A and B are shown apart, each in its own frame.
Chain A
Amino acid sequence: MMNSKKILNLAILLSFTILSSCSEEWLEPKPLSFYAPENVYVDEAGFEALLVTMRKDIKSEFYAERGPISNEHAMSDLGVPGAQSNRVVKDFPQVLTPAGDGGNHDFPGRLFNIAYNSIRNANVMVSRIDNVDWESENIRNRLLASAYFYRAYWYYRLVNSYGDVPFIGKEVTGPKLNFYTHSRWVILDKIQEDLEWGVDWLPESADPGALTKGAGNHLLAKIALANLDFEGSIAAASKVIEGPYGLMTERFGIHASDPSRNIFWDLHRLDNVNDPANTETILSVIDRFLDPDGAKTNGSRLPRIYNPAWWHSRNRDSSGGPGTVADGLQYDSLFRGNGNCRPTPYYLYEIWDYENDLRRSDNNWVEWNEIIYNNPGSPDFGKPIDRANYAVAVDTFQHNYSFPHYKTFVPEQDPAANPAGGNGDQYVFRLAETYLLRAEAHFWKGDLSAAANDLNRVRQRAGALPVALNEVDIDFIFDERARELFTEEPRHGEMVRASYIMAQQNINGYSLDNFSDKNWFYDRVMRTNVFFQINLTWGQQSYSISPHNALWPIPETVISENTLGRINQNQGYIGASQNVPPLETIE
């Protein structure tokens, strides 16, 4: 019995010794399957991984049915949101509100959120760069310059779509809710300054999708232009133009041997964007079908956005039945378009001043009357669509229009997929735009002949007649941008940028004081976009736009969640009466 007693005593003693072993280490958290900032941002590889995210963030602009770049077109002189659904914004003054989401285009929120998410990533790098003892200044400065580039890229987008916005320049590490809006101009100053320093530290050449000096200078040219530093803009653009780039003039890439196509067809094949032969690419985003799930998107969606819904049952044949079906003939080449951005007649017909312009050549385009009835059960099978057969004429608006096939021909790599546009790389910056930027800078400076020179470099390659000096004006420059850069540029933002340049200089009676009442953007849209002119009714809404819609509203939640500060709303939208003067300095 004593034995067991001893065992018992021992057991109790043992169990109580556990008590004294109770220690702080026991409660230390152990993250096992995720990284923390402290163990990643310690060397070049860690920061490089953060850069990969920033590089990828830009991709969000391009690969969605209603992504930012397509929104920039669908609210401009070149297009309108064309889907019939009443969730699609057509009546901008009524529907584009800070609280409303602007229909399923989400004009207020989509770009805003993507931009600030990426700015967060850039700020993490900016704030942590000096926590590491760098072996060489080169590495540090290249990383920091890259972060500056991406931050500048997004602020450039923000100030041209929303005007004044809060500038966040540091990593946010706690619950901060006291943000204020900065003036657009002080943001432009800041990002121009950052980039002017940074561009020298970027490499001459890099992997597809990665930053180079050329990308830095191209963005700098844009920012300087927006900031009315025309000399700076010309200087930066010239560095790109003098760099290892050149406009493509010879056939190349996957369809190079197809005699029915031309150079513009080659230029806009997504497979050719990063073809080694392509000297026009300055910065691109990468999207390959064979990449793993997380690395690729569901597809470019380009035909979905810009092509008509020619496959819809509203396309009646002569018997009054559905002449087209979403299957079979033509479905794999014209795809399942939806007219999310319905091009205006202005883009389709009016801006083409020279009939032999390769960018409008017949083999690059599908005209409305080239679309055929593809319903095998239809008596008109194989015949071209006859507009007399529509139940009502307005049905052609979303379902039957001409489109630039060379920009939207993106077959699905997966035969079972819904043909809405497959995977492939896209341009972010292309040399043709650098010429057009420099042309515009020359124009604002008053150097019309230099401007015409640059315009003509672009026009010449397209086989268009050179522009005469007396024809060069800001409208011509924006027409040229449209001819060259449709589907590629942030159209609305670039127009707002030009509007600010005019307002700042009080050109044509524009001024900063009443920007939301009178601006060049609105005037040009009303001059060129027939859908707004005639208030076309499609579905339940009629197309309409107001001068204040030039700037998109700041999402309401951003303002309401910022409980300790005041983020301004743009004039003309609900909530603007609470505004305080924007900050004019950045600390």
Chain B
Amino acid sequence: MKFPLLKSLMFWTKIGIMCFLLFPFNNGSTAKAPGRDSLSRAPSPISSEGIVLQIEDDITVTGRVTDQNGNPIPGATVSIPGTSVGTATDIEGYYSLELPEGATIVFSFIGYLSQNIEVGNKSVINVVLLENPTDLDEVVVIGYGTQKKSDLTGAVMRVDAKTFQNQNVTQLSEMLTGTVAGFNANQGTSASGGSSLEVRGPTSLSAGTSPLIVLDGVIFNGSLQDINPNDIETMDILKDASSAAVFGSRAASGVILITTTKGQTGKPTINFTTQIGLAEVTNSDVRPLNKKEYTDFRRDLLIKENPSSPAYFYQNPNELPGDISLEQWINYNNNPNQDNTTEWLNRLLFFPEESENYLAGTGENWYDKVMQKGLRQNYDLSLSGGSEKIKYYWSLGSINNEGIITGDNFSTIRSRLNLDAEVTDWMKVGLNSQFSERNESNVQANLGQMLISSPFGSKFEEDGSVKWFPNGYLGAQNPLVNHLKQDKLRKIQNLFVTLYTELELPLGFSYKLSFQPRYTFLRDHNFWNSETILGGQTRSRGFGTREDSQIFEWMVDNLLKWNKRIGIHNFDVTFLYNIEKFQSWLSYQSGETFNPNQNLSFHGLQFATNHLVNNDDVYSTGDALMGRLNYTLMDKYLLTASLRRDGYSAFGQQNPRAIFPAAALAWKISDEAFFSSELVENLKLRLSWGINGNRDIGRYSALARLSQNLYSNGSQVLVGVFNNSLANPGLVWEKTQAFNIGLDLGLWEGRINASLEMYDMVTEDLLMERNLPQVTGFDNITTNLGELENRGLEFTLNTVNRNTNNFTWRSDFVFSLNRNKIVSLFGDFEEVEVNGEIITREVSDISNQWFIGQALDRVWNYDITGVWQMDETDEAQSYGLSPGDYKAVDVNSDGSYTTLEDKQFIGWSQPRYRIGLRNEFTFLQNFSASVFIRADLGHIGSVSDFLHNSSNLYDRRGMRAIPYWTEENPSSQFGSLTATSGAYGGGYNIYFPRSFVRIQDLTLAYNVPVSIVQRMKLNNLRLFGSIRNLYSFDKWENWDPESGGSPMPRIYSMGLNVTF
């Protein structure tokens, strides 16, 4: 017991146990924590029986109160302000109230914005209540517990899954693309959806920067893909160090807390949703050359490559200028073909296949074969309900999506069962479980091969088999060959279960024990038969691989909590002890050369004559201790302090453990006596500080590893070994220390809510792969060095612009920026001369493009200003370049482009500003609509297509259809068809602005009116439709400014939701 924290925890635990043993249970009368009361605070229905009817000409108004999505709101208050007249809605949301003519009714419910309606002469008033976006009494999930929003001390953002229920969402991370200030997520482009995840900014150079996922209160190491978005109630994102610090070693990149739907007491509710959609590519400008472009391109290339050829040598003989006769053209060649077109095609170095197709007028439109419109289908069914003692929620969802590239397909079945049971009044047990199966058995057409394809190629051989090399060139493969001929089975099954018991103990204590096993089973089997290139040419008579892997990990959480109010002091204390173990097993086998035939595909690798096996089993362990105090003084001054100690087996044996402290303060200024403002409903200042860790490195990164090497002595296979990585027994955690200042402001009864966050994060002991000079024989070593800083600002504004019964309009605006800086790297210093003075400065890491004092995403390259033109031939030549080549700023004007002297900082590769604006409307009683506009601004990206790096192959294949410079058609922006990287030391690239403003989501929903729904014996029926990625404004020269080099889908979808 070396650790003081552990010691003290043990001490307090013992005290706790003693207390617990000393005091007998007081069944049924366990004091409820004061804080809890507010959890269950519900409006007390005002009995209409108690109303004294005084006025003769009363009328009766009836109606239903629902939320924006048509779900009934039971228990909502319907009243006339200033009087005792009022009632509450029943479980179906219906009410009936007698009231005087001309009165104004107020509809209100906790968590929703109240609505005033003049009755007039209406007898039926149906009301849609808008959710209060920043309901202060709302309970927010924090690590290992919950807290009222008003009591938060850290920066926590909530995402309500209902906001996205009219959209087509495959993975829940898609809800986070642009919608939360400080959450940086880019959409995935494949049929499986998803998006990248990053909270605030990159806090590491090489370790992972994905936030930690906490699912229903426990750490979830599985894939987000396995959580059905339809099962999600809310997501809470912990952004600042203090709130995340309870997850210590895992928290430096932020935490996403996901809460799934639980059963409610009441009669069973069946909910069914179906959606059907269509995906198409947003940008069809990225495509291979068409026939005309292909012959022009080849002509222009050859003119450029053969400057000594006669003019018009490569010109189509039918398109010769007047001063060149056909005779002349023919005689350019010593040995012309009798057929002029054939001669021309020969001059263009057409392969025989290409000439044949050209002459026959045939060929292939590869774009139409490789890109497709994909059909998308979702079905979700859930069943929930419960008695007083047992509540259940069960769901089953299925998705079958096609992507926009031929062959891209994703299907999944996901099921969840949540059970809560009160065994006694002091003991609860429960189960949260999810099972999923993903089918990723797709073989996509090859996009890269499509872009270099020749329009004069053929898809099939004459005998009907797939033609490997459609135009005859071995380097241009048929983009469809694997899609058509490869067998693939890839299925992943996942089971994640949380089993827990919760005990109410005396004196405000409670104890929760939970056990979370997680299983993953993966099968990835492939077979390339002789009709594929891999199984027919690279290897012969078939090639098959089988990968089977299994993950089993478990975690145990022990949570002891104490909640006590003593006068003006409120204490909420949490202790955690956690242990975890991870194991995985991978078996890989491959075989080639199958006999007597290949018909068994990957089911019979034993019939191969040449085998290979590989195993990779992994083991790791961890443990954690954590204590946290939430202290509230006079309900106005809030303090959170926590300490966590983590251990993990992946770190060097010298330092397997680390300690992560955090603290936060908040002050509810608006609750002070001196503060009295009608306008301001809420004003709160928050301050937090904490240290968090990152352990996201390879599980064996600290160890030296020997790799295997096979050789032969001619009669026997020999197994060799070699050192593949360097050991680092001193490897430690990466630590991020962060400060956060936050200000929350609520105006006009919650109609305007704003919050501002500012933060400063410093990461030290960066885990990085430090490059080593090649003379060591190693590329790099995993080590802790340097310092990285992130500073940023986030602003969130929620407004209710209109709130009437016929029309409501609400806006959510988010803005964020993050600035990061590499403060230090290896601690190596150099003396250099800058402007005539010798200065000492820290050495940057050029090979990784990491520069001291600059952002991680700083782009350092040649500043390309244009293209050398014909009248600049001499100047270009002095750089070893020629007209048509790119022209860059020669910083030191020495007449050559050298890496260290002439590269400059020319931009950033990550957005400088991120903006999101959602507008939601309800209108005509039953309609709701929303539009979400997103902007990522100020960054640049490179598109290597414009470098023509493989122009040496252009005489035998095509390229992406892009504009280029020629002598006849000079461009000042785009270079000619030949590569010139040799003249630029260290290489260069062409950059384009990547800023975009995008109409990302558009939705429209219709709640079928109550009268119809009732006739259909339904509870609720909603029809909806949405469009994702409708349009984007940008100047990007590739598929999509968000995804960069992969095609982005535009998704149209329609759906129907019904509740019984």
B interface footprint on A1-44 (CB within 8 Å = 1, 0 otherwise)? 10011001101110110111010101111111111110010000
Query: In the bound complex, how far is the Cα of B394 from the Cα of A51, in angstroms?
Result: 61
Enumerate chain A residues within 8 angstroms of B720, measured Cβ to Cβ: 49-53, 55-56
Contact A177 B704 (CB under 8 A): no
Query: Is there an interface contact between A561 and B611, defined as CB atoms closer than 8 Å?
Result: no
Contacts of B621 in A (CB 8 A): 26-28
Q: Is the CB of B986 within 8 A of A99?
A: yes
- Smallest CB separation, B730 vs chain A (Å): 10
**B390 proximal to A (CB < 8 A):** no
B986 nearest in chain A by CB position: A99
A508 in the interface (beta carbon within 8 A): no
Q: Is the CB of A19 within 8 A of B10?
A: yes
- Nearest A residue to B880 by beta-carbon distance? A94
Q: Are A320 and B899 in contact (CB under 8 A)?
A: no
Cβ-neighbour of B774 out of A30, A293, A325, A557 (below 8 A): A557
Please tell me if A539 contacts chain B, counting CB pairs below 8 Å: yes
**Residue from A16, A557, A562 within 8 A of B17 (CB atoms):** A16
Chain A CB within 8 A of B718 CB: yes
Which stretch, A62-70, A384-392, A498-506, A522-530, touches the partner chain B?
A384-392
The answer on a CB contact under 8 Å between A26 and B623 is yes
Task: Please tell me which one of the listed residues A9, A34, A103, A295 contacts residue B705 in the complex, with CB atoms under 8 A apart.
Answer: A34
Contact status B616-A168, CB under 8 Å: no
Of A28, A85, A97, A563, the residue contacting B830 (CB under 8 A) is A563
Interface 0/1 of B846-863, CB less than 8 Å to A: 110000000000000000
Taking CB atoms, residues of chain B closer than 8 Å to A319 are 337-338
Q: B700 to A291, Cβ gap below 8 A?
A: no
Q: How far is the CA of A209 from the CA of B720 in the complex (A)?
A: 14
How would residues 770 to 789 of chain B score, 1 for a CB under 8 Å from any chain A CB and 0 otherwise? 11111111100101000000
- B335 on interface, CB distance cutoff 8 Å: yes
- Residues A12 and B982 in contact, CB atoms below 8 Å apart: no
Contacts of B708 in A (CB 8 A): 294
A259 contacts partner chain B, Cβ-Cβ < 8 Å: no
Which chain B residue shows the least CB distance to A25? B621
B612 near A286 (CB under 8 angstroms)?
Answer: no
Known: A209-B714, A418-B537. A166 touches B335 (CB 8 A): no
Residue of A nearest to B825 (CB): A563
B190-241 CB contacts (< 8 Å) to partner A: none
With A119-B777, A288-B712 known as contacts, the answer to whether A33 contacts B615 (CB < 8 A) is yes
Cα A230 to Cα B717 in complex, Å, equals 40
Cβ of B711 and Cβ of A292 under 8 Å apart? no
Chain A residues within an 8 Å CB radius of B700? 29, 31, 34
Question: When the two chains form their complex, are residues A55 and B711 in contact, meaning their CB atoms are under 8 A apart?
Answer: yes
Complexed CA–CA distance, A124 and B653 (Å)? 23
Q: Which residues of A contact B777 (CB under 8 A)?
A: 116-121, 123, 168, 172
For the complex, count residues of A whose C-beta is within 8 A of B. 121
B775:A29 contact, CB within 8 angstroms:
no
Contact A29-B620, Cβ < 8 Å, known A20-B10, A321-B346:
yes
User: How far, in whole Å, are A572 and B552 apart by their CA atoms in the complex?
Assistant: 59
Binds A, one of B445-453, B676-684, B721-729: B721-729
Task: With A34-B707, A49-B721 as known contacts, state yes or no: A22 contacts B351, CB within 8 Å.
Answer: no
* Chain B, 977-995, CB within 8 A of any chain A CB: 978-979, 981-982, 985-987
Cβ of B623: which chain A residues have Cβ within 8 Å of it?
Answer: 22, 26-27
Q: Which residues of B contact A27 (CB under 8 A)?
A: 621-623, 647-649, 656-657
Q: A583: CB under 8 A from chain B?
A: no
> Among A137-145, A237-245, A310-318, which stretch is in contact with chain B?
A310-318
Q: Do A32 and B335 touch across chains, with their CB atoms under 8 A apart?
A: no
Q: Which chain B residues (610-639) contact chain A, with CB distance < 8 Å?
A: 610-612, 615-623, 625
Q: Which residue of A lies closest to B336 (CB)?
A: A320
- Tell me, in angstroms, the Cα distance from A318 to B10 when the chains sit together: 96
Is A208 within 8 A of B713, CB to CB? yes
Beyond A27-B623, A32-B618, A320-B333, is A19–B982 a contact (Cβ under 8 Å)? no
Contacts of A51 in B (CB 8 A): 720
Binary B-proximity of A101-131 (CB < 8 A = 1, otherwise 0)? 0010000010011001111110110000000
The answer to whether B424 touches A4, judged by C-beta atoms less than 8 angstroms apart, is yes
Contact of A112 among B343, B656, B703, B774 (CB under 8 A): B774
Q: Is the CB of B579 within 8 A of A95?
A: no
4 closest cross-chain pairs (CB), A and B: A120-B777, A52-B720, A320-B337, A85-B952
Q: 30 A-B pairs, CB-CB below 8 angstroms? A: A12-B17, A16-B577, A22-B6, A22-B623, A26-B647, A26-B649, A29-B619, A32-B619, A34-B705, A52-B720, A86-B305, A86-B952, A99-B986, A121-B723, A172-B726, A173-B727, A176-B772, A208-B714, A287-B712, A293-B612, A294-B708, A320-B338, A322-B346, A388-B334, A389-B335, A390-B335, A391-B333, A414-B540, A418-B474, A558-B775
Identify 14 new A-B residue pairs, CB closer than 8 A, beyond the known A1-B25, A20-B1, A20-B10. Answer: A4-B427, A13-B17, A29-B650, A34-B707, A37-B727, A53-B721, A84-B955, A172-B776, A177-B826, A293-B612, A295-B718, A314-B349, A561-B847, A563-B843
Chain A positions within 8 Å of B, measured between CB atoms, are 1, 4-5, 8-9, 11-13, 15-16, 18-20, 22, 24, 26-37, 40, 46, 49-53, 55-56, 59, 84-88, 94-95, 97, 99-100, 103, 109, 112-113, 116-121, 123-124, 165-166, 168, 171-177, 179, 207-210, 274, 286-288, 290-296, 313-314, 316, 318-322, 325, 377, 388-392, 414-418, 425, 537, 539-540, 555-564, 567, 574
